[in-house]
Amino acid sequence: MQYGGISCTFAGTCLFIHSMTCLQLDVEVAAANVLDLFAIIDPSKMTSKIKPHLLVHLKADIVRFGPLVGVATEVFECFNAIFRYCSIFSNHLAPSRDIAFQLASQEVLKHRLTGGWWPMASGEWEQPGPSVRNFIQAHPTLQALMGWTSAEPLVNGDFNFCYTFQCTYKI
């Protein structure tokens, strides 16, 4: 791709940054496109919301602070739905307490399903049977829902460049 005589190369969704200038130009164009769409769809959002305004400063923030890791708010905003679902059966007199109890119950269930131990009323410690643990280990979807990570051994020199497509490159 050409930007005013500067050549930039892309490979699918994996972006190879050959120069900081290419990255800055791409970010500037992408931010301008988003702001143009805001102006077309709902111009009032541009003045009432802070996020569109932050896009204007995106290029300068990348130059000053480096890659924008950790600023993706979608990861944190997804917890709003979790809190909302936890408070469905609440009487809303103490919503924070009800959400805390619900989340604690979910963590206890996750602990038990993954083979954790818990004390019984008699004082003895108990853990789920092997069939429960084997069932969880045989179903990767359940593992993903419970936040399990794979037990693959780490290999020196390997890294994941694109998490979406699991591109692995050797150094």
For the segment 112-129, what is each residue's pLDDT rounded down to a tens digit?
Answer: 888 889 899 999 999 999
- Alpha carbon distance 80, 86 (integer Å): 10
Structural domain includes residue 78: no
Which of 65, 81, 113 lies at the terminal end of a domain, its last residue? Answer: 65
More confident residue, 32 or 69: 32
Structural domain includes residue 77: no
pLDDT value at residue 162: 46
Which of 42, 65, 88 lies at the terminal end of a domain, its last residue? Answer: 65
Structural domain includes residue 79: no
The top-scoring range by mean pLDDT among 67-71, 72-76, 145-149, 164-168 is 145-149
Q: Which of 1-5, 85-89, 94-98 has the lowest mean pLDDT?
A: 1-5
- Alpha carbon distance 72, 74 (integer Å): 6
Q: Compute the CA torsion angle 61, 69, 84, 141 (nearest 10 deg).
A: 160
Looking at the fold, whether 163 and 114 belong to one and the same domain comes out as yes
| Mean pLDDT of all residues in 62-89 | 71
Mean pLDDT over each residue of the chain, to the nearest integer? 75
8, 26 in Cβ contact below 8 A?
yes
**Domain encompassing residue 11:** 2-65
Query: What is the reported pTM?
Result: 0.43
Q: Which of 1-15, 24-38, 135-149 has the lowest mean pLDDT?
A: 1-15
Looking at the fold, whether 61 and 121 belong to one and the same domain comes out as no
Residue 104 pLDDT > 70, yes or no?
Answer: yes
Structural domain includes residue 86: no
Looking at the fold, whether 59 and 104 belong to one and the same domain comes out as no
Structure tokens at 65: 């602070």
pLDDT value at residue 124: 93
Structural domain includes residue 22: yes
Residue labelled with tokens 């050797």: 170
Structural domain includes residue 82: no
Q: What percent of the chain has pLDDT over 90?
A: 5
Structural domain includes residue 84: no
Which of 21, 46, 65 lies at the terminal end of a domain, its last residue? Answer: 65
| Mean pLDDT of all residues in 75-93 | 75
Looking at the fold, whether 105 and 165 belong to one and the same domain comes out as yes
- Alpha carbon distance 73, 80 (integer Å): 11
- In angstroms, the Cα distances linking 87 to 4, 59, 84, 92, 95 are 54, 40, 5, 8, 7
Looking at the fold, whether 160 and 103 belong to one and the same domain comes out as yes
Looking at the fold, whether 112 and 162 belong to one and the same domain comes out as yes
- In angstroms, the Cα distances linking 70 to 24, 65, 73, 102, 144 are 19, 12, 8, 27, 21
Looking at the fold, whether 109 and 52 belong to one and the same domain comes out as no
- Alpha carbon distance 10, 12 (integer Å): 6
Total tally of structural domains belonging to the chain: 2
152, 140 in Cβ contact below 8 A?
no
SS3 103: helix
| Mean pLDDT of all residues in 30-59 | 85
Structural domain includes residue 75: no
pLDDT value at residue 145: 79
